[in-house]
Chains A and B, each alone.
Chain A
Amino acid sequence: MNRRAFMKTLAGGALAIGLNSGLGPLPSKSLRAQGFPDLVATKGTDLTAMFDRSLEALGGLGQFVKNGQTVLIKPNMAWAVDPAGAANTNPGLLSHIVKNVLNLGAKKVYVFDNTCDNWADAYRVSGLEKSAQEAGATVAPANTESYFQKVVIPGETTLKEIQYHELYLEADVILNVPILKHHGGARMTAAMKNLMGAVWDRRPLHRNGLDETIPELLLYKKPTLNIIDASRIMVSGGPRGHGDSQYLASQMMIVSQDPVAADSAAARLLETAGLKAPKYIEEAARIGMGAADLNSLNIQRLTA
């Protein structure tokens, strides 16, 4: 082995160690080893009860949130649309999660979104700012570039660097709480697409193709847990919703540590309304971000 090869190996090893220590081994492995399911889907009419039931099946929220940790809850509050429009995460669900996280002794709970509509309007009209604050979370702004930090994405990627919100990078635990919707550009928005709200400049993602770039958002840091609000799904006119948008009353919640698996299950729900599954799910599985094939997973189906 000459010096150059040695250096390459060394660099590769360092990268591997860095990746491992940074991201850790896939946490679902350890949960799986404990006998918990890979994905929990819960039917019901009350989102808070559905959340409790789902987390119970995964061994409780304490599996993911420990005393003294900084927790980021990332809802979808991109739109100045009231909760009846189902364009943003349900405010009741968000406040319920905030309270549960605080009860587990979290040091600090943050909530933010880099909104599409004017941020002050979106935070207010969605009702999420109020509900999160009342539950005890800190609602952080994400409306200027100064809150974001640039990170370099390792490997052969389309996006060489991404500007993540500093809280996304700092948080010990990230709870990704999207609402499932039709999306005109990407076909569907759920767990993976919701992470675009933690990124400052989204134009590079659109410019280079959403199907290729959305999975790459997971390369640097993955959410700890994905909780998809699929109680009432906008199946046309998404993601904002138009006056003639149609909805699917699916009354479901999908919870998984694997954002690809969660999105894969969510896509099945959209398919029942005649929509096509987004291409970024397969792409995410291809680059090893999770499992797209639901048959290979241990899925627990519950009713709350």
Chain B
Amino acid sequence: MRRTPARIRRLIAYALLALFVAALLYPASMEEVLQILPKLQFGQLTAAMMSNGSQKFVVIVSVMSVLTLLFGRFFCAGLCPMGALMDMVSLLRGVISKQKFAYKPAKKSRMIVPFLVLILLWLGLNIPFGLLEPYSLFVSKSLFYPGPSILLFAVIILAACRGRAFCNSLCPAGFILRILSSATKYHLKFDQNQCLRCGVCSQVCRTSAIDGNEQNIDRSRCVLCLDCLSVCPNRSLTWGTLPPASLPLRRPFLHQLPLVILAAGTYLTPASIRAKSFYPPKTAPVLPPGALSLAHLNAHCSLCHSCIIVCPNEVLIPSGENSPSLWARPVLNPYNGFCQYDCTLCTTICPTGALIGMTVEEKHISRLGMVYFEREECVVIKNRTSCGACAEMCPTGAVRMITGLYGDEEPDIKKEFCIGCGACQNVCPVRPFSAIRVQGLLVQQTAVQPVKVESEDLTLNEDFPF
């Protein structure tokens, strides 16, 4: 028995999972983690590549693909937070029931769902992908939204019953990695002389990929958990070079499929363009910074909800609208909070480029929406009292208090400065609907930067004016 490799594997996977969870809980203090870990998610990278049609993600996807071609599905073993979560659940399974895993031959029918999901992604419809991609599934654990959380629950139940069955029957990233790793050269293999044919390895394999009797490992399904090494009584499983394997698909050219899909997605009319024809939107809610436009957000957002979870002001929520162009997309609800002037966290974490990263200076003039002032509802006008909460909160001076007709201060709107952060709507005391609100834009705009005027300080004419 060699327990060390599996232990190291678990240690890495669980450490990364813990790091992930910590970063999502304390985003402001762990910004570096957010900049790296989500961007190593193979599924998210796939979506990013296919929708961007840009070279930005090609390098990292290529490196990961080549490593998978050579060594198998290392991503599933260590980098996937959902995988680590499922491993934890299957640990529990061992405690609850004594039922063991057993070898099952690969079924081609299990490849249909992820294949269709990828085809839809290529066509520009990314909602099914967002629901099944493990990172999206993991992050949008979403206490917020019924859809993903029920799905997550189902996947956890599946993990408790069938181990890593999800990875080989539903996961779109797993689909690509599976085909890539089916002909892996360097992988686990049986030492024919050592093997006692006891079958213990088959009983612990959470993907049912080890045929102990035939001394064969289905490399395409193996997620490299290495548990088989821990249980083998005679050290008969070793690393080694393997001859070409029997492939999961009948026609060899189909094994180029994932690369074809990726290339097609990336280089043949990116999904962002296809998405536009899918759902032409007419109006838009207030979209998060860096979303550029509703069309851009729709094309790139994989519904992972990372932005929603890291938002320190809790202004981002999954849209409750049931149209394909808005379903569960991140939008601002200024009644919950407002977009902090100096904060760019959501654009930092976005793994697919749906929210384009920006500097604080760019954020200052990035217009998410446009202010709309319903003067007759304003307490200053209606009751002739003092308020000015909107002007107080406005970070750009788009709302200022000026002396109105009655000699009292009232809000005055300078639209050109408005960045649509929603601070005015949030703080306005009028309810149920604020008297000053932000309206969404189909295409985000650039606001006019207020001119900085450094004027000399005034001085007092007398020492004490009282």
Contact = CB atoms under 8 A, between A and B. Distances in A.
Contacts of A17: none
Interface stretch (B189-197, B267-275, B446-454): B446-454
B28 interface: yes
Contacts of B283: none
Interface in A242-278: 242-244, 246-252, 264-265, 268-269, 271-273, 278
A57 to B, nearest CB: 14
A24 B218 CA distance: 84
Given A183-B392, A184-B409, A244 B457 contact: no
B382 to A, nearest CB: 10
A41 B409 contact: no
Contact of B313 (A80, A118, A250, A268): A118
Contacts of B28: 120
Question: Which secondary structure dominates chain A's binding surface?
Answer: mixed
Contact of B457 (A203, A237, A249, A264): A249
Contacts of B393: 116, 240
A116 B393 CA distance: 7
Contact of A117 (B340, B388, B431, B460): B340
Contacts of A247: 457-458
Given A121-B342, A209-B383, A240-B392, A187 B409 contact: yes
B461 A272 contact: yes
B397 A187 contact: no
B459 A249 contact: yes
Nearest to A232: B457
A280 B397 CA distance: 25
A252 B464 CA distance: 9
Q: Main secondary structure on chain B at its contact with chain A? A: loop
B429 A206 contact: yes
Contact of B391 (A185, A272, A273, A279): A185
Nearest to A204: B429
Interface in B363-419: 379, 383, 385-389, 391-397, 400-401, 409
B431 to A, nearest CB: 8
Q: How large is the interface on B (under 10, 10 to 19, 20 to 34, 35 or more residues)?
A: 35 or more
A29 interface: no
A243 B459 contact: no
A113 interface: no
A26 interface: no
B239 interface: no
A301 B463 contact: yes
Contacts of A209: 379, 383, 385-387
Contacts of A265: 466
A301 B464 CA distance: 8
Nearest to B400: A184
A207 B379 contact: yes
Contacts of B464: 41, 43, 252, 301
Contacts of A15: none
Interface in A13-54: 41, 43
Q: Which of B379, B385, B386, B459 is the most central at the interface, judged by chain A CB atoms within 10 Å of its CB?
A: B386
Most chain A CB within 10 A, of B401, B461, B466, is at B466
Which of B341, B383, B388 has the most CB atoms of chain A within a 10 A radius of its CB?
B388
A126 B396 CA distance: 18
Contacts of B379: 206-207, 209
Contacts of B459: 248-250
A229 interface: no
Most buried by A among B387, B391, B427: B387
B385 A272 contact: no
B392 A268 contact: no
A280 B387 CA distance: 12
Contacts of B450: 242-244
Contacts of B386: 185-187, 209-211, 278-280
Contact of A184 (B401, B427, B458, B462): B401
A247 B453 CA distance: 12
B465 interface: yes
Contacts of A282: none
B465 A269 contact: yes
A272 B458 CA distance: 10
A298 to B, nearest CB: 13
B165 to A, nearest CB: 42
A237 B397 contact: yes
Given A249-B459, A250-B460, A271-B465, A244 B387 contact: no
B451 A244 contact: yes
Given A232-B457, A243-B451, A244-B450, A120 B312 contact: yes
A121 B28 CA distance: 10
Contacts of B395: 240
A268 B452 CA distance: 28
B455 interface: yes
Contacts of B460: 248-252, 269, 272
B465 A118 contact: no
A247 B454 CA distance: 10
Contacts of B409: 184-185, 187
B340 A121 contact: yes
Interface string A182-205: 011111000000000000001110
A275 B401 CA distance: 13
A67 interface: no
A299 interface: yes
Given A187-B409, A211-B386, 4 more contacts: A116-B427, A184-B392, A243-B452, A272-B460
8 contacts: A116-B393, A185-B389, A203-B429, A209-B383, A243-B450, A249-B460, A268-B465, A272-B460
Interface of B: 28, 312-313, 340-343, 379, 383, 385-389, 391-397, 400-401, 409, 427-431, 450-453, 455, 457-466
Interface of A: 41, 43, 80, 116-118, 120-121, 183-187, 202-204, 206-212, 232, 235, 237, 239-240, 242-244, 246-252, 264-265, 268-269, 271-273, 278-280, 294, 299, 301
